[in-house]
Amino acid sequence: MRIYFYIAKKFWGPFFFALGVFTALVVLGDTFEKMKNLGNGVTTMLDLLSYSMTTFPNWLATIMPVACLLGAISVISEMVANGEWTACIASGFAPRQLFKPVIACILAVVVLTMLLQEFIIPPLNAKSVEIYNTRINPSEHFKPNTEQDVILKVSPNQMLFAKEVNLKEGTMSRVSLDTYDAGWDIAKQIVADQMVWNPQTKSWLFSKGIQRTFVDPMDTTEQSFETAQSPVTLNPSEMAIDRTDNKLLSIRELYKRIHFFKRSGLSSYSAQTMLQSKLATPLVTLVMCLLGMPFAISMRRKSKILNIIASMVIAFTFWWLISMFTSIGENGYINPFLAGWGPVLFFGIVVFFEFKWLKL
């Protein structure tokens, strides 16, 4: 057991080194890019610092797989270079046994990454968007928790248009509910200043509006009202109208978005592909590391530069394939499940034959 703890302890040094260096580079690069806004008379260094702090966990989660890969390659190559690997094999340890403590460390990092992506990154991302649109690159049209120009399919023959939607407050402003006939000609229309969610009746209420009935192309009747019942019964908590990039959503939020898109008759290929990709994330990191660890055995002398180069090549090859599959899946050309899990299955087969060929 002591050898297992010894190997696991050696993993964390290179891991934290890679994590610190790579994360610092991307965070500083992003921060310097935003510094061009310092001359707008609004942005301060404190704003830039706040923005960097809110985006830091997202960059951290992005870099962790590469840091795991570098840590795994480094600990194996160092043991080989120092003769420790040969001594362990001579003592009766199989290579797969020596891989176990490294895999345990990788799985611990994977769990931490998943927790970050599920509970920490989404709210901080919303905060970073608010800081950017109010302090760094101010936009007079930006309102927190509000989406502009929203279009919803309420039923097979009804479309809802809203200028502003705030699901947190349960309000929609300047709305239009259009009802179409079998030939998709407009038959009825309700235009209202506002539509408000009523938690008691679990429905939306129109306020201060006009109901139009299109008798024929040349004849329309109108009737004003103060309040009127809306046919929309979908709870605000079940709606997913924000335009946040799927990559920045948690698995729970992606499930919600997919369910809403399907109920509204909207395409959900992109969200489904990203969901499968996130579900495959633990195996992506593990398979990536298993792909690189046998490479470290073949190196006879320790070389940090070589370790970094090998890690970057493997990681970018993996990410390139993932990006390609994701792009194809988001456009609906292949099944979302295949788009998310395809790279893992492909490299999993490569790892299987790699271990078999090297007799590990």
161 membership: H or E segment, kind and range: strand 158-166
Which DSSP string do the residues of 61-83 spell out, in sequence order? Answer: HHHHHHHHHHHHHHHHHHHHHTT
Q: For the stretch 100-113, what's the b/e string if a residue is b when 16 or more beta carbons lie within 10 angstroms of its beta carbon?
A: ebbbebbeebbeeb
- Please determine, for residue 293, whether its predicted confidence score (pLDDT) is greater than 60: yes
pLDDT tier at 154 (50, 70, 90 boundaries)? confident
Report the C-alpha gap between 220 and 12 in whole angstroms. 73
CA 119 to chain centre: 12
Check residue 94 and give its pLDDT.
Answer: 85
Per-residue model confidence (pLDDT) at position 303: 59
Average pLDDT over every residue of 156-173: 92
Rounded CA-CA distance 208/195 in Å is 9
Residue-wise pLDDT tens digits, 121-142? 999 998 998 999 998 988 888 8
Beta bridge partners of 216: 219
Q: How far apart are CA 307 and CA 71, in angstroms?
A: 9
Per-residue model confidence (pLDDT) at position 253: 92
Please give the average per-residue pLDDT across 171-181, as a whole number: 94
133 CB contacts (<8 Å, ≥6 apart)? 139, 142
The C-alpha atoms of residue 152 and residue 154 are separated, in whole angstroms, by 6
Residue 170, SS3 per DSSP: coil
Confidence of residue 180 (pLDDT cuts 50, 70, 90): very high
Q: Which residues, other chains included, contact 353 with Cβ-Cβ below 8 Å and sequence gap of 6+?
A: none
For residue 302, pLDDT beyond 60:
no
Of 296 and 324, more confident: 324
Stronger pLDDT, 196 or 29, i.e. the higher one: 196
pTM of the entire structure?
Answer: 0.84
**CA–CA distance, 159 with 85 (Å, rounded to integer):** 67
- Ordered strands of the 219-229 beta sheet: 147-155, 158-166, 171-180, 186-198, 203-216, 219-229
Residue 190 has pLDDT above 90, yes or no: yes
Please, where are the H alpha helices in the chain? 2-34, 45-81, 84-90, 95-115, 121-131, 251-264, 269-279, 281-298, 304-330, 336-358
Q: Three-class SS of residue 203?
A: strand
Distance CA 125, CA 326 (A): 22
Residue range 41-62: mean pLDDT, rounded: 89
The stretch 50-76 carries a mean pLDDT of 90
User: Is the pLDDT at 176 greater than 90, yes or no?
Assistant: yes
> Mean pLDDT across the chain, nearest whole number?
87
Give the pair of three-digit tokens for residue 9.
Answer: 């302890």
pLDDT (tens digit per residue) in 79-123: 888 888 888 888 888 888 899 999 999 999 999 999 999 999 999
